[in-house]
Amino acid sequence: MEFVYALIALALGVVLGFVINRFVVAGKAQQARQSAERTLADAQKQGETTKKEMLLEAKDEIFHMKAQAEEEMKERRKDITAMESRLLQREESIERRAEAQDKREHQLSSEAGQVAKRAKDLEDAITEEKARLEALAGMSSEQAKTVLLERVKQDVAHDAAIVIREAEQRAREEADRKARNIIGIAIGRVAADHAAESTVSVVHIPSDDLKGRIIGREGRNIRAFEQLTGINLIIDDTPEAVILSSFDPVRREVGRITLENLIADGRIHPARIEEMFTKAEALVDQQVREAGEQAVFDAGVPAVHSDIVRTLGRLRYRTSYGQNVLNHSLEVAYLAGVVAAELGLDPALAKRAGLLHDLGKAIDHEVEGPHAVIGADLARRLGENKEVVHCIEAHHGDVEPQTVEAVIVQAADAISAARPGARRETLESYIKRLEKLESLAESFKGVEKSYAMQAGREIRVMVKPEEISDAEATLMARDLAKQIEAELQYPGQIKVMIIRESRAVDYAK
């Protein structure tokens, strides 16, 4: 029973709790709904308020923007009005200019007509005056133009000749002053003490009886001698002398020593000739080598190829117009070195080129061609400096000089060859050269007489004063100098002097 009561009490408790809970939850829900409705109402009121405020702000903004736009529009209208005013003014100005331009064109057209009329009148007047002048002068306008041009040409040639003469005089004076100074310094420093040397291939014998022994039985000795030495032995009526003839100076020297040793020994036969020839050849070869080494040492030129040294030594036995070529080469080396030093150039290069400039003369009897080209080819093959090679091949004008050193070597070569006593030439060739020089000068028109002076180093030409003016004399000197350069061969340089004089003669009675 208690259990039943407990169940009933439990059920009543559950039902009562359920009812109470329902009423409590419903009350809370009602309160929440009311709170939400109030919140929603407040939000709606707040939204309306915000909306009104935003509308008011928008209206204010629109009002301000409208006012600003109206202000900008007013300013724009003012600018447009001002621009229109300026455009109107410009248009009026353009119209006024156009009217003025039309007036100017009309005026120019009128003036052009007047100018054309005046030009035609002037042309007619010129034609009439031209015809009148031609009638008075007795020549046409073309003839008068030719005469006038000829006179102008003569005047221009005269003025040009005067200008050329003055410029040449100034340049010549300055160049002569500097050249004399430099050459004087060079020659003064060199002061060469060796004079012209002549190699004469004549062997003196104690008596003419030796001539038969030299010839030998049926000529066997002379044949053996000529075959070994390669030279010709000339035995004639010259007392106590025999002559050695050969184009090779070294070979001729070997033959001379061989023959002198044979004469000194007294035993002359083919076997002895061969023995003496071998000794002489060795001696000359040693002398050649020593002469080349001594020349290189004296010139102060280092690092020279041994073959070049030996070839240079061969020049000891070579002469040119009676001048020893080895001594001449040393002199050219000294002169070139001094001139290069005075000009601020490389004296070592100039001395080296001066020493080797005539190298080809040692072998020009073996190789065809000018000795300058032969020497340059030899130096080039033996590894010599290309600048030195150029100086060698250019020192006689076989090629155009391209460096100052090449010109210096040319000048030093001419100084050494042209100094007094350096060279000699045969009387026949000397006379022919002077005659050719005088005949060349007398071939010019207006020349009265010419005289070769200073051993052919100066030509004085007397001209007819009535045919040659002072200006034409200047031009003649230039033309004659160029023709001499083109047609003659000569050592050094030739001074051309044109002499024109006028004489007034009267007699007192």
CATH number of the domain within which 382 lies: 1.10.3210.10
- Note the pLDDT tens digit of each residue in 349-370: 888 888 888 888 888 777 788 8
Buried b (16+ CB within 10 A) or exposed e, 133-172: eeeeeeeeeeeeeeeeeeeeeeeeeeeebeeebeeeeeee
Mean pLDDT of 1-20: 73
Shared domain check, 315 and 348? yes
**Last residue within a domain, chosen from 297, 326, 359:** 297
Host domain of residue 441: 429-499
**Last residue within a domain, chosen from 297, 320, 340:** 297
Assess contact for 421 and 195: CB atoms under 8 A.
yes
Shared domain check, 386 and 350? yes
What local confidence, expressed as pLDDT, does residue 103 receive?
A: 87
Q: Where are the alpha helices (H) located in 306-426, listed in sequence order?
A: 306-314, 325-342, 347-356, 371-381, 386-394, 404-418
Shared domain check, 408 and 368? yes
Shared domain check, 319 and 272? no
Tokens of 351: 């001395």
pLDDT at 186 over 60: no
- Note the pLDDT tens digit of each residue in 196-219: 334 446 777 887 777 788 888 888
Total-model pTM: 0.47
What local confidence, expressed as pLDDT, does residue 139 receive?
A: 67
E strands present in 167-256? 202-204, 232-234, 241-245
CA dist 141 and 117 (Å) reads: 25
Domains held by the chain: number: 4
| 112 within a domain of the structure (yes/no) | no
CATH for 454: 3.30.300.20
- Note the pLDDT tens digit of each residue in 253-291: 888 888 888 888 888 888 888 888 888 888 888 888 888
CA dist 338 and 179 (Å) reads: 13
CA dist 495 and 482 (Å) reads: 12
Shared domain check, 310 and 414? yes
Shared domain check, 384 and 343? yes
Shared domain check, 474 and 447? yes
Which of the 8 DSSP states describes residue 190? H
What local confidence, expressed as pLDDT, does residue 252 receive?
A: 84
Taking the CB of residue 256, how many other CB atoms lie within 10 A of it? 22
| 73 within a domain of the structure (yes/no) | no
**Cα 394 vs. chain centroid, distance in angstroms?**
16
Shared domain check, 415 and 310? yes
| 395 within a domain of the structure (yes/no) | yes
Tokens of 125: 């007047």
Shared domain check, 451 and 410? no
The residue among 435, 420, 443, 439 whose CA lies nearest residue 491 is 420
| 126 within a domain of the structure (yes/no) | no
Shared domain check, 290 and 328? no
CA dist 132 and 416 (Å) reads: 72
| 506 within a domain of the structure (yes/no) | no
- Note the pLDDT tens digit of each residue in 27-65: 677 787 888 888 888 888 888 888 888 888 888 888 888
CA dist 371 and 364 (Å) reads: 6
Candidate from 70-79, 180-189, 476-485 with smallest mean pLDDT: 180-189
Mean pLDDT of 116-145: 77
Altogether, the residues listed in the chain come to a count of: 509
What local confidence, expressed as pLDDT, does residue 24 receive?
A: 65
The residue among 159, 163, 189, 507 whose CA lies nearest residue 341 is 189
| 54 within a domain of the structure (yes/no) | no
Shared domain check, 472 and 389? no
Amino acid at 421: G
Shared domain check, 440 and 410? no
When comparing pLDDT for 290 and 150, which is higher? Answer: 290
pLDDT at 117 over 70: yes
**Last residue within a domain, chosen from 379, 399, 423:** 423
| 349 within a domain of the structure (yes/no) | yes
Is 462 strand, coil or helix?
Answer: strand
